[in-house]
Chain A
């Protein structure tokens, strides 16, 4: 810049330069502050099964369709009941795998004979919609081995999870990504 030029423009340029520097420092400061708060591992959404009441909002409020919430079966806890309250309608016509006897609206829970009197129940994840009817039944009368969990291969990890906003018990929360499931095994 020409030092002898005493016109308005150098003053304006000086102010502009100073403001530019200020913005750069401010941006650096903001980044520094955020980095101080930042962690290497991010957070993911997950359902705390101890708080979940299987109200069914997970199935209806996720931005994805079907929801990223699916039922997960903890076989170590399962009682392998012949009459599973997660599988059967409260008043089944018969104790068999007929669709009319099932609680699951999509037939995602598969019942298979193991040995008398035990039956294995497997969740067909491609059919599960996360409505939690089976979870509610199993929790109320069974061992509580069926649990709703956010599947991280499906979840897009929204900043404000629309299920978390409507979750009545605060069971939906952020947990560190390296321990991404809360289902007790």
Chain B
């Protein structure tokens, strides 16, 4: 009755794995003679769906408030308060997830992979900040985004970066967006979440390298305002381009600008542009000729990008686990041990070699397509950036560039007209 045999049998732990069988009744569950009752095991249910909608409500109310603060109330201190509330709720309470920045990938995955079901709330979490950008500019960046807020709060002594340098640096964000979409569509890997620099800080746990990355970004953020937002954030790329078309631009002062340029000096993100006079006569003709050249050149850059991208993707595909497993299967027993283990485990769990090779072939084709599209995208962005560098739209007075303005509200207090408008200064000119 007792299992005395077991004690005498030498237990060979090397036998454990290959002969493993799940839930076999080797020993029938006993009938107890005493009044022993088997304990009930109750496991915690996942977070109720209602919390998703509470997050959504926080985001919606927050965005509405941020728009009102940036356009009407116009006080930096109030925006700062909202920013803090957002860091506490979306950052520390919700542990940095869900955030609209990462939601881009959920939407991509839902479109690319029909097996994934996207929670309804995520659609809105992704879409609401974009919708607000079309109407009120980047109010999400300014007051709601916890990643942006963390950097904004540590900004100590901003250093000005030339516009052209920032524009080139921002190419990284466009590439990051493309990479994130491609990797999610191909293999369901969420790059943006994995390399989210501050999520470990919000969770007080996580990968050491990510903590170091976050620390480095915060160190840079002491001197360069919001480096992640300006040079890396993939969601920021979408926001800035929608914000170019915004219905209502953030105005430094609703009154007429007196061209003092104080606001441009106050903006830590270099988002305020000086007045530009309209080009005349010859200059317009030159610009038109330039535009033709640009169309031709950027087509060539895009095609080259497509070609180079699909070429590079072939190399990158070799790092994919499915492709590695397939090539290991074909080549024989050589290769790194973890791949060999994976192949053995795959075959042991009932997978066939043909299915694996077919899956690897499909994966490879996907990589090449995605690589080509990514290359083309980078080409397009380079072309558009070159165009943007040539053309300067005329504007009178200092204005916040709607694409770069993060609606942080710092400039309001620096504008003398704003002081007049608020009645803090006495007017002498009328």
A residues apposed to B, CB below 8 Å: 12, 16, 19-20, 23-24, 27, 30-31, 33-35, 37-44, 49-53, 63-65, 72-83, 85, 90-91, 95, 114-115, 117-118, 120, 122, 136-137, 139-145, 149, 151-153, 155-160, 162, 165, 168-170, 174, 176-177, 180-181, 184-185
Contacts and interface: CB of A to CB of B under 8 A. Distances in A.
A79 B27 contact: yes
Interface string B172-215: 00000000000000001110011000000001011100000000
A24 B134 contact: yes
Interface in B124-167: 124, 126-127, 130-131, 134
Chain B at the A interface: SS class: loop
B27 A151 contact: no
Is the interface on chain B under 10, 10 to 19, 20 to 34, or 35 or more residues? 35 or more
A145 B38 CA distance: 13
A75 to B, nearest CB: 4
Contacts of A31: 123-124, 126-127
21 contacts: A27-B127, A37-B110, A37-B117, A40-B49, A42-B49, A44-B46, A65-B206, A76-B29, A79-B28, A136-B16, A152-B45, A152-B47, A156-B97, A158-B190, A158-B193, A162-B194, A168-B342, A168-B346, A169-B349, A180-B46, A181-B43
Contacts of B341: 168
Given A35-B120, A115-B36, A118-B36, 17 more contacts: A23-B242, A35-B123, A37-B117, A38-B120, A40-B49, A41-B49, A42-B52, A75-B39, A79-B27, A115-B33, A122-B39, A140-B17, A144-B24, A168-B342, A174-B115, A180-B43, A180-B45
Contacts of B25: 77, 79, 143
Contacts of B131: 24, 27
Contacts of A139: 20-23
Interface in B294-334: 321
Q: Which 4 pairs of residues, A with B, have the shortest CB-CB distance?
A: A79-B27, A153-B44, A90-B11, A144-B23
Contacts, number: 217
Contacts of A160: 188-190, 193-194
A51 B39 CA distance: 26
B345 A159 contact: no
Contacts of B29: 76-80, 143
A37 B114 contact: yes
Interface stretch (B56-64, B79-87, B100-108, B262-270): B100-108
A105 B55 CA distance: 39
Interface in B43-98: 43-47, 49, 52, 95, 97
B26 interface: yes
B41 A75 contact: yes
A152 B46 CA distance: 5
A115 B32 contact: yes
Contacts of B30: 79-80, 118
B13 interface: yes
